[in-house]
Structure 1
Amino acid sequence: MLVLRSLVASAQVAATGSIRGQVLADGKPLELATVALPGTALGTATTAQGYFELREVPAGTHELVFSSMGYQAQRQRVAVRAGQATEINARLAATPAALSEVVVTGVSRATEIRRSPVPIAVLTRREVNLNSTGNVIDAAVKGVPGLSAVTTGPNISKPFIRGLGYNRVLTLYNGLRQEGQQWGDEHGIEIDQYDIDRIEVVKGPASLMYGSDAVAGVINMLPRLSSEADGHVHGDALMEYQTNNHLLGTSVGLRYAHNGWQYGARGSYRLAQAYRNALEGRVYGTAFRELHATATIGVEKRWGSTQLTATLYDNIQEIPDGSRDSLSRRFTRQVAEGDQDDLKNRPLVSAPDLATYRINPLHQHIQHYRLLSRTRWHLGTGELHTLLGIQHNLRREYNHPLAPQQAGLAVALNTYTYDVRYAAPTWLGLETTVA
Structure 2
Amino acid sequence: MGRSTIANAEGYFGFPELKPGNYHLHVTHIGFKSFSKNIEVNLGENYLEVQLVESAILLASMTVEANPFKNGPLEQSQTILILDREFIQKNNGGTFANAIEKLPGISTINTGVGISKPVIRGMSFNRIMINDRGIKQEGQQWGADHGLEIDPFDVDRVEIVKGPASLIYGSDGMAGVINIAPAAFKQNGEIEANYSGLYRSNNDMVSHSFFVDGNEKDLIFRARFTAQDYSDYRVPAENFVYAGFLLPIFDNRLKNTAGTERHFSFTGGVQKNWGYSTLTVSGFNQQAGIFAGAVGIPNSYNLRHDGDHRNIDIPRQDNQHYKVIWNNNVQLGKYWMELDLGYQRNQRKEFSLPHTQGVGPNDFGNLALSLNLDVFTANMRLNQQHGEGGQSVLGFNAQQSVNRHSGFEFLLPNFQSFQGGVFYFREQRINNTLVWNGGLRADGAFHDIEEHLQPIFVRLEPTGEFDQRNPDINRSFFNISGSTGVSWVFKEDINVKFNLGSAYRIPTPIELASNGVHHGNFRHEVGNPDLVAERSYQADLNMALSKKKVHISVSPFFGYFDNYIYLAPAPRFSPLPGSSLLWEYRQNNAVFTGAELMSQLAIFKNFNLSFGAEYVYNLNLDTGLPLPLTPPFSTLTGLEYKIPEINKQVQNLYFFVESRRAATQNRVDRNERVTEGYHIWEAGLGWDLTFKNNTLQFQVSGQNLTNAVYFNHLSRYRLLNLPEQGRNISFSINIPLNIR
TM-score, structure 2 normalization: 0.44
SS at match of 2:304: coil
The residue number in structure 1 matching 2:263 is 292
Distance in 2, Cα, partners of 1:401 & 1:66 = 59
The residue number in structure 2 matching 1:413 is 373
Q: Contact 1:397–1:408 (CA<8 Å) still a contact in 2?
A: yes
Counterpart residue type for residue 217 of structure 2: N
The residue number in structure 2 matching 1:349 is 304
Q: Contact 1:238–1:250 (CA<8 Å) still a contact in 2?
A: yes
Is the alpha carbon distance of 1:313 and 1:91 closer, same or farther for their aligned partners in structure 2, counting shifts above 3 Å? closer
The residue number in structure 1 matching 2:314 is 361
Counterpart residue type for residue 129 of structure 2: L
Q: Contact 2:196–2:209 (CA<8 Å) still a contact in 1?
A: yes
The residue number in structure 1 matching 2:146 is 187
SS at match of 1:415: strand
Deviates more, 1:314-323 or 1:372-381: 314-323
| Residue 132 of structure 1, aligned match among 92, 95, 98 | 92
Counterpart residue type for residue 76 of structure 2: R
Give the number of equivalent residue pairs.
Answer: 354
The residue number in structure 2 matching 1:160 is 119
Is the alpha carbon distance of 1:76 and 1:342 closer, same or farther for their aligned partners in structure 2, counting shifts above 3 Å? closer
SS at match of 2:153: helix
Q: Contact 1:166–1:184 (CA<8 Å) still a contact in 2?
A: yes
Deviates more, 1:281-290 or 1:263-272: 281-290
1:114 equivalent in alignment to 2:75: yes
Distance in 1, Cα, partners of 2:371 & 2:279 = 27
Distance in 1, Cα, partners of 2:75 & 2:146 = 35
Q: Contact 1:375–1:385 (CA<8 Å) still a contact in 2?
A: yes
1:34 equivalent in alignment to 2:13: yes
Distance in 2, Cα, partners of 1:111 & 1:321 = 52
1:390 equivalent in alignment to 2:343: yes
Report the CA distance between 1:114 and its aligned residue.
2.9
The residue number in structure 2 matching 1:304 is 275
Query: Which has more helix, going by share of residues?
Result: 1
- Which residues of 2 match residues 18-417 of structure 1 at below 5 A? 31-39=10-18, 93=49, 95=51, 103=65, 108-110=69-71, 113-117=74-78, 119-142=79-102, 144-227=103-186, 229-280=187-238, 281-322=252-293, 346-350=301-305, 352-353=307-308, 355=309, 357-400=310-353, 406-417=366-377
Distance in 2, Cα, partners of 1:234 & 1:244 = 33
Question: What are the superposed Cα offsets for residues 325-378 of structure 1, whole Å, 9 maximum, x if unpaired?
Answer: xxxxxxxxx9xxxxxx9865735522623x2x2211321110000011111221
1:424 equivalent in alignment to 2:377: no
SS at match of 1:34: coil
Counterpart residue type for residue 267 of structure 1: F
Counterpart residue type for residue 342 of structure 2: G
Distance in 2, Cα, partners of 1:134 & 1:96 = 36
Question: What are the superposed Cα offsets for residues 271-317 of structure 1, whole Å, 9 maximum, x if unpaired?
Answer: 10011111242111211101100000121113321111110111001
Distance in 2, Cα, partners of 1:126 & 1:67 = 18
Is the alpha carbon distance of 1:163 and 1:381 closer, same or farther for their aligned partners in structure 2, counting shifts above 3 Å? same
Distance in 1, Cα, partners of 2:200 & 2:52 = 49
Report the CA distance between 1:396 and its aligned residue.
0.8
- Taking every aligned residue pair, what percent have the same amino acid on both sides? 30
Q: Contact 1:108–1:385 (CA<8 Å) still a contact in 2?
A: no
Q: Contact 2:36–2:74 (CA<8 Å) still a contact in 1?
A: no
Unaligned runs of 5+ in 2: 1-6, 29-34, 56-62, 239-251, 356-360, 396-740
Counterpart residue type for residue 267 of structure 2: T
SS at match of 1:295: strand
Q: Contact 2:292–2:303 (CA<8 Å) still a contact in 1?
A: no
Is the alpha carbon distance of 1:95 and 1:217 closer, same or farther for their aligned partners in structure 2, counting shifts above 3 Å? same
Distance in 1, Cα, partners of 2:372 & 2:315 = 20
Distance in 1, Cα, partners of 2:331 & 2:254 = 55
Is the alpha carbon distance of 1:256 and 1:406 closer, same or farther for their aligned partners in structure 2, counting shifts above 3 Å? same
TM-score, structure 1 normalization: 0.72
Is the alpha carbon distance of 1:215 and 1:293 closer, same or farther for their aligned partners in structure 2, counting shifts above 3 Å? same
Counterpart residue type for residue 116 of structure 1: S
Distance in 2, Cα, partners of 1:31 & 1:190 = 44
Is the alpha carbon distance of 1:212 and 1:347 closer, same or farther for their aligned partners in structure 2, counting shifts above 3 Å? closer
Counterpart residue type for residue 195 of structure 2: A
Is the alpha carbon distance of 1:405 and 1:34 closer, same or farther for their aligned partners in structure 2, counting shifts above 3 Å? farther
Report the CA distance between 1:431 and its aligned residue.
1.2
Is the alpha carbon distance of 1:112 and 1:175 closer, same or farther for their aligned partners in structure 2, counting shifts above 3 Å? farther
Deviates more, 1:214-223 or 1:236-245: 214-223
Query: Which has more strand, going by share of residues?
Result: 2
Counterpart residue type for residue 33 of structure 1: Y
Q: Contact 2:209–2:224 (CA<8 Å) still a contact in 1?
A: yes
Distance in 1, Cα, partners of 2:183 & 2:218 = 17
RMSD of the alignment, in Å? 3.5
Q: Contact 1:226–1:264 (CA<8 Å) still a contact in 2?
A: no
Q: Contact 2:328–2:339 (CA<8 Å) still a contact in 1?
A: yes
Is the alpha carbon distance of 1:172 and 1:71 closer, same or farther for their aligned partners in structure 2, counting shifts above 3 Å? closer
Q: Contact 1:108–1:421 (CA<8 Å) still a contact in 2?
A: no
Distance in 2, Cα, partners of 1:169 & 1:269 = 27
SS at match of 1:195: coil
The residue number in structure 2 matching 1:434 is 394
Counterpart residue type for residue 240 of structure 1: L
SS at match of 1:115: coil
Q: Contact 1:387–1:418 (CA<8 Å) still a contact in 2?
A: yes
Report the CA distance between 1:74 and its aligned residue.
10
Distance in 1, Cα, partners of 2:167 & 2:207 = 39
Greater length-normalized contact order (CA 8 Å, ≥ 6 residues apart): 2
Distance in 2, Cα, partners of 1:183 & 1:284 = 26
The residue number in structure 2 matching 1:43 is none
Distance in 2, Cα, partners of 1:187 & 1:222 = 23
Is the alpha carbon distance of 1:350 and 1:397 closer, same or farther for their aligned partners in structure 2, counting shifts above 3 Å? same
Question: What are the superposed Cα offsets for residues 184-215 of structure 1, whole Å, 9 maximum, x if unpaired?
Answer: 12121111111111222111111111112111
Report the CA distance between 1:92 and its aligned residue.
6.0
